[in-house]
């Protein structure tokens, strides 16, 4: 890389949660420079946030339209290379579309849009423009998740037979959206969050993880979505039976009312020859289970790991890397891809290993299909994209 990749941010003002995480992820490896932002719809917050982030005044914008227009007029060697969108779900599509139309690559939080239709429009625009859209399915950025993917691909487990993926959280066990929790408020409001609460917010992560590691695609589902906490208008819990395109069966469990759970995403994949288990709270460990041999503890940083795991680790074994590094892996791969393209080079498979607009479309399809299946009396619902 000849210069740092330049980034702008939409949303993510002070007090926002995920914007700060994106900035840490972008900062970490010193490859990306935050150059401008439309950080809040509240002008005061936007300005204050710009100061806190040491942004120049002329690149601290009050709305995204202004930012996209002005930035596209900067000379090439100052102009940002990409825009990160970290607003609530309902405010993803418009800025993403406008960014693409003005030639900016895009990083966007999941779920990608409010509706499947919007997602498909973004896909179309990405295909038209040749620009790159990166979706931050954070958990696929962990090195041991990549190791799992590589082992499945290499056939270490044989044909995959069963996948259990769970994402239990407890933070919505009470009606915290009415107690001043801003994160809870928009996530439980269908107008801002979309058709689904729990499945949209975390079920999409779980489904992506299952498909990402296994390389399989969900073909049928049987969904039981629940509103557990009285007074809520959108699912806060769901259990989904799955069928995959190779005939494997599966279960996806997502819940925001699993009292006492933090962010206990976990996955188990079983094949003919062995199984894999990964748990997000201890992300540097991957259990590899065998039919007639001791279970092995694969550890991030191990010399025996594959190329993808190694490429996505910064320190030797025993130096725990966490969620922020997983997030930074996505940003780093995205930045390396942009840099390669800028140099007219072919990005390597390792560089290209970040979730894309196609993953975003599948996530939106999960939401649509899960809601439809939940409303149906029929057991199996075809997963339609």
Residues in the chain: 385
C-alpha–C-alpha distance, residues 179 and 191, integer Å: 19
**Nearer Cβ to a second copy (24/97):** 24
Judged by CB under 8 A, the stretch of 56-64, 107-115, 202-210, 273-281 that binds a second copy is 273-281
Residues 334-361: b if buried by 16+ CB within 10 A, e if exposed: bbbbbbbbeeeeebeeebebbbbbebbb
What residues from 288 to 317 belong to the interface with a second copy (CB under 8 A)?
288-299, 301-304, 314-317
Contact (Cβ atoms closer than 8 angstroms) between residue 383 and residue 220: yes
Q: How far is CA 378 from CA 151, 224, 248, 364, in A?
A: 36, 12, 20, 21
109: nearest Cα among 204, 7, 212: 204
**Nearer Cβ to a second copy (119/300):** 300
Among residues 132, 204, 284, 312, which is the contact residue for a second copy, using CB under 8 A? Answer: 284
Among residues 100, 122, 209, 222, which is the contact residue for a second copy, using CB under 8 A? Answer: 222
Residue 263: CB minimum distance to a second copy, A: 3
Residue 89: CB minimum distance to a second copy, A: 19
Judged by CB under 8 A, the stretch of 19-27, 87-95, 209-217, 347-355 that binds a second copy is 19-27
Q: Work out whether 246 is an interface residue with a second copy (CB under 8 A).
A: no
Residue 116 parent element (H or E) = helix 116-129
Among residues 62, 94, 175, 251, which is the contact residue for a second copy, using CB under 8 A? Answer: 251
Among residues 257, 338, 364, 366, which is the contact residue for a second copy, using CB under 8 A? Answer: 257
Residue 225: CB minimum distance to a second copy, A: 10
Q: Work out whether 262 is an interface residue with a second copy (CB under 8 A).
A: yes
Q: Work out whether 75 is an interface residue with a second copy (CB under 8 A).
A: no
Among residues 8, 37, 88, 168, which is the contact residue for a second copy, using CB under 8 A? Answer: 168
Angle, alpha carbons 255-258-261 (nearest 5°):
110
Q: Work out whether 172 is an interface residue with a second copy (CB under 8 A).
A: no
Residue 246: CB minimum distance to a second copy, A: 12
Q: Work out whether 57 is an interface residue with a second copy (CB under 8 A).
A: no
Judged by CB under 8 A, the stretch of 64-72, 78-86, 129-137, 264-272 that binds a second copy is 264-272
What residues from 351 to 380 belong to the interface with a second copy (CB under 8 A)?
376-380
Q: Work out whether 197 is an interface residue with a second copy (CB under 8 A).
A: no
Token output for 58: 């002329």
Q: Work out whether 97 is an interface residue with a second copy (CB under 8 A).
A: no
Asked if omega into 111 is within 30° of 0 (cis), the reply is yes
Q: Work out whether 34 is an interface residue with a second copy (CB under 8 A).
A: yes
Token output for 319: 């130096």
Q: Work out whether 133 is an interface residue with a second copy (CB under 8 A).
A: no
Count of residues that bind a second copy according to CB under 8 A: 91
Angle, alpha carbons 303-135-152 (nearest 5°):
40
- What SS3 string covers 227-240? CCCCCCCCCCEEEE
C-alpha–C-alpha distance, residues 353 and 337, integer Å: 9
Contact (Cβ atoms closer than 8 angstroms) between residue 218 and residue 154: no
Q: Work out whether 185 is an interface residue with a second copy (CB under 8 A).
A: no
Contact (Cβ atoms closer than 8 angstroms) between residue 60 and residue 36: yes
Residues 6+ apart with CB under 8 A from 254: 166, 167, 168, 198, 199, 202, 203, 206, 237, 238, 240
Judged by CB under 8 A, the stretch of 61-69, 84-92, 245-253, 336-344 that binds a second copy is 245-253
Q: Work out whether 201 is an interface residue with a second copy (CB under 8 A).
A: no
Residue with tokens 């809520």: 232
Contact (Cβ atoms closer than 8 angstroms) between residue 203 and residue 167: yes
Among residues 71, 109, 235, 321, which is the contact residue for a second copy, using CB under 8 A? Answer: 321
**Nearer Cβ to a second copy (21/361):** 21
């Amino acid at each position: 890389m000849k210069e740092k990749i330049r980034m702008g941010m939409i949303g993510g003002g002070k007090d926002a949660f995920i914007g700060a995480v994106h900035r840490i992820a972008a900062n970490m490896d010193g490859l990306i420079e935050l150059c401008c932002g439309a950080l809040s719809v509240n002008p005061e917050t936007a300005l204050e946030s710009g100061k806190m982030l040491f942004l120049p005044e002329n690149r601290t914008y009050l709305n995204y339209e202004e930012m996209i227009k002005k930035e596209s007029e900067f000379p090439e060697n100052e102009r940002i290379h990409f825009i990160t969108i970290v607003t609530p779900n309902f405010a993803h599509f418009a800025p993403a579309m406008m960014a693409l139309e003005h030639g900016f690559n895009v990083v966007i939080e999941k779920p990608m849009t409010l509706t499947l239709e919007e997602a498909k429009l973004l896909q179309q625009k990405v295909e038209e423009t040749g620009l790159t859209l990166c979706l931050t399915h954070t958990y696929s950025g962990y090195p041991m998740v990549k190791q799992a993917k590589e082992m499945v691909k290499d056939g270490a487990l044989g044909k995959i037979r069963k996948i259990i993926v769970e994402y239990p959280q407890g933070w919505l066990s009470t009606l915290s959206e009415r107690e001043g929790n801003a994160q809870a408020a928009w996530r439980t409001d269908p107008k801002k969050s979309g058709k689904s609460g729990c499945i949209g917010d975390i079920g999409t992560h779980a489904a992506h993880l299952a498909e990402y590691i296994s390389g399989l695609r969900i073909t049928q589902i049987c969904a039981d979505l629940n509103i557990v906490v009285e007074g809520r208008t959108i699912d806060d819990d769901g259990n989904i039976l799955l069928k995959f395109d190779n005939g494997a069966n599966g279960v996806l469990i997502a819940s925001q009312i699993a009292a006492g759970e933090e962010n206990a995403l976990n996955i188990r994949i079983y094949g003919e020859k062995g199984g894999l288990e990964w748990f997000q709270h201890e992300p540097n460990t991957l259990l590899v289970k065998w039919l007639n041999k001791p279970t092995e503890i694969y550890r991030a940083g191990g010399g025996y790991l594959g190329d993808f795991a190694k490429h996505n680790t910064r320190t030797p074994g025993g130096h725990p890397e966490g969620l922020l590094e997983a997030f930074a892996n996505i940003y780093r791969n995205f930045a390396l891809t942009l840099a390669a393209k800028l140099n007219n080079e072919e990005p390597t498979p390792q560089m290209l290993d970040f979730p894309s607009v196609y993953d975003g479309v599948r996530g939106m399809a999960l939401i649509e299909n899960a809601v439809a299946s939940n409303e149906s009396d029929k057991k199996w619902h075809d997963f339609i994209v």
